[in-house]
Structures are given as structure tokens and as C-alpha cells.
Structure 1
Amino acid sequence: MSVKKIVIGAGILAIAGYFYLEQRVKKIIKQFEFVKIYPVAFKKLDAKWNDGKPFVTFNLDLKLVNPTAQHFSAQLTAVTLKRILFYDKKNMLLGSANVNVKAINIAPNSSTIIPNVPVQMDLQTAITNVLGALNVSNFNSSDIRIEVIVSILGTEHKIS
């Protein structure tokens, strides 16, 4: 076998692998849009100062719910759940969590929990939002919007 045939064969395999991976990633993104994320438990609350700004850190257990009849699986090394961003109903960033989870499996109509996700919130923003929530009598946890940042082959995608 000549070197030319080996190079051509390897190139064809690489291109086919890329297209297969691209289709798989598109399927994962489409499925991830149906996954719901809910906070379950708060742990290790702490307040700190960084560059003259106060912030609060805590660990949060997150429940990922798959409400569909399809098994959700994101077990590719090219796919990573990077960050979760928390917004209020006015789209003000409340805080963020660095997750870096590479393998997520959720059975149909089931859920899984990611424990101890470190969350950091700007204390000024948090206090402003708490005071605003106290003025509005019908505030509930559904007023908090969660946005997920997924890294796929090094490219970040936002999923609301």
C-alpha cells in the first residue's frame, strides 16, 4: 500500500468522522432545548470581597429534567456543559455557575441531579433583586431564568 492511498484513506475517514460528529452534536443541541434545569438545594453559603466588590458564593444542587419520551445522552468528549447563568425577569444577570460536566444521561420522563455546583453572585445585584422581589407580592422561583452555555468542539452555544 502506498503512502498516497493511506493519506487519502485517512482524509476520507476524517471527513466522514467530522460529518458524523456534527450530526450527533446537532441532535444533542436539539434535545438539550427540552431539558429543564431546577435548583434543588443550597449549601455552604459564604460572602467574600473581590476587587472592592462584594459577592456571595454557595453550592447548588441542580436537577435536570427530561420531559420527553426520548433518552437524553450527551456523552461525547466534544460536548461539555460549561456554565449556567441566572437572570431575573428583567434580564439582569444574578450570578453564574461553572459546571464543566462532560457526560449527562437522563432517562425518558426522568431526571438527574448534578450536586455541588459552585455559584457566584454579585451581592449588590442580589440585594437589589431581593428588595425588588419583596416589593412584588407575587414573586416566585419561576421569575428566575436559567441559561445554559454548552461547549461543542470548542464553540460555545447558549440554550435558554
Structure 2
Amino acid sequence: MSAKKIIIGAGIIAIAGYFFIEYKVQKIIELFQFVKIYPTAIKKFNIKWNEGAPFVTFNLDIKLVNPTPEVFSAKLLAVTLKRILFYDKSNILLGTATVNTSSITIPANGSTTLFNIPIQLELKTVASTVISVIQKSFDLKDIRIETIVSILGTEHKI
């Protein structure tokens, strides 16, 4: 075999692989938009100071529910669930969960739980949220969850 045929063959395989991964990633993104995320347990609650600003850290168990009739599977090396961002109804960032996992499978019409996800909240936003709860103007439905997924090294918000 000549080097030219090897290079052309490798190029065709690379292009086909790229389109296959792109299709799989698009399917993962489409299905993940239906996945519901529920907190189930809080562990290792702590208050720390960083550069003069106080923040709260804790580990959170998160239940992922797949209400669709398709199995949700994100077991590609090219796809990593990086972070989960929590916003209030005013679009203020409440906190960040650092996940960094690339192998999530949720059965059809089923659920799975991710354990010990580290969460960090700024104490200022925690205080304003507590005040909102006291004033009864806060509802868990008002929390918007945004996920950051890394696909082939590029981050996407879902």
C-alpha cells in the first residue's frame, strides 16, 4: 500500500469518526434537555474564606431523572459533564457544582444518582436567598439549572 492511500484512508476514517461523534453528541444534548435534576442529600457543610469573601461549601447528592422512553447514555470520551450552575429567578448565580464525569447512564423512564458533588455558594447570595425564603418570595421552581458540557474540549451550555 502506498503512503498516499494510507493518508486518504486515515482522512476518510477521521472525517467519518468526527461526524459520528457529532451525531452522538447532538443526540446527548437533545436528550439531556429532558433530564430533571433533583438534590437528594447535603453532606460536609462548611464555611470558608477566600480572599476576604466568605463562601459555603458542601457535597450534594443529585438525582437525575430521565422521563423519556429512551435510555440516556453519555459514555463518550469526548463528552464530559463539567459543571452545574444554579441561578435564582433574578438570574443571579447562586452556586456552582463541579461534576467532571464522562460516564452517565440513565435508564428510560428511570433515574440515577450522582454522589458527593462538591458545591460552592457565595455567602452573599446564600444570605439573600435565606431572606427571600423568609419573605415567602422564594420558590424552588424559581431556581434555574444550567449545565456545562465539554464536547471535544469545547464547552457548551445546556
Q: TM-score range by the shorter chain?
A: over 0.9
Alignment match, 1:107: 107
Q: What is the letter of the counterpart of residue 132 of structure 1?
A: S
Match of 1:79 in 2: 79
Per-residue deviation, 1:143: 2.2
User: Where in structure 1 are there 5+ consecutive unaligned residues?
Assistant: none
The offset of 1:96, in angstroms, is 0.3
- Partner Cα separation in structure 1 for residue 143 and residue 39 of structure 2: 10
- Residue 145 of structure 1 corresponds to which residue in structure 2? 144
1:65 shift after superposition: 0.4
Deviation at residue 74 of structure 1 after TM alignment: 0.5
**TM-score, scaled relative to structure 2:** 0.97
Instruction: Render the CA deviation track for 1:56-80: whole Å, top value 9, x for unaligned.
Output: 0000000000000111110000000
Amino acid at match of 1:117: I
Aligned to 1:116: 116
Q: CA deviation at 1:133?
A: 2.0
Structure 2 distance, partners of 1:140, 1:111, is 24
Q: Supply the AA of the counterpart residue of 1:42.
A: I
RMSD of equivalent CA atoms: 1.0
Q: What's 2:20 paired with? A: 20
Aligned position for 1:156: 155
- Tell me the number of residue pairs that the alignment of Structure 1 and Structure 2 aligns: 158
